[in-house]
């Protein structure tokens, strides 16, 4: 599950990792969607509030910073209970991200929630 290696056309483009026990799957899913589906930069994906779901507790856990209609949709339309946490909530994944540029240059950022770091060998 972690690290997660994402390839495009047979070449590595992202390496994503986080500690977090029950939060790992949701955190990794959040960042993959942000990077691939929304075209965010590493910094944007890292700094975006997270939504966490786990079968180990009865509610969705969501950091502040989402539009109010996101919480309302989850509660009123989807029927979920939502618990909000102030952004940044330390336990919502401490992402370390590496992006491999087309020229082979590796760019990494470390987890701001836990003073992490990112590094890659020469590729």
Identify whether 116 is part of a domain. Answer: no
Identify whether 74 is part of a domain. Answer: yes
List the structure tokens of 47: 């700094």
For the entire predicted model, the pTM comes to 0.87
Per-residue pLDDT of the chain (123 residues; tens, 9 = 90+): 678 999 999 999 999 998 878 889 999 999 999 999 999 999 999 999 999 988 888 999 999 999 999 999 999 999 999 999 999 988 887 889 999 999 999 999 988 888 777 666 665
Supply the pLDDT for residue 115. 78
| CA atoms of 44 and 29, how far apart (whole Å) | 15
Identify whether 112 is part of a domain. Answer: no
Query: Locate tokens 């370390």: which residue?
Result: 96
Identify whether 64 is part of a domain. Answer: yes
Q: Which residues pair with 97 in a beta bridge?
A: 16, 109
The overall longest dimension of the chain from CA atoms, in Å, is 50
E-assigned strands of 9-64? Answer: 11-17, 51-52, 60-63
H or E stretch covering 44: helix 42-47
Query: Locate tokens 């994402």: which residue?
Result: 6
Identify whether 67 is part of a domain. Answer: yes
CA 99 to chain centre: 14
Domain residues for the domain of 58 are 18-95
Supply the pLDDT for residue 90. 83
Identify whether 27 is part of a domain. Answer: yes
Supply the pLDDT for residue 118. 67
Domain count, the chain: 1
The closest of 69, 59, 64, 113 to 85, measured between CA atoms, is: 64
Identify whether 71 is part of a domain. Answer: yes
Q: What angle do CA 113, 43, 109 make, to 5 degrees?
A: 65
CATH number at residue 74: 3.60.20.40
């Amino acid at each position: 599950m972690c690290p997660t290696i994402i390839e495009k056309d047979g070449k590595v483009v992202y390496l994503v990792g986080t500690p977090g026990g029950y939060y790992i799957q949701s955190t990794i899913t959040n960042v993959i969607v942000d990077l691939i589906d929304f075209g965010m930069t590493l910094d944007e994906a890292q700094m975006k509030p997270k939504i966490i779901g786990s079968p180990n507790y009865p509610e969705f856990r969501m950091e502040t910073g989402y539009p109010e209609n996101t919480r309302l949709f989850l509660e009123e339309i989807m029927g979920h209970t939502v618990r909000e946490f102030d952004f940044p909530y330390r336990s919502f994944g401490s992402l370390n991200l590496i992006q491999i540029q087309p020229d082979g240059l590796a760019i990494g950022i470390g987890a701001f929630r836990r003073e992490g770091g990112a590094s890659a060998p020469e590729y």
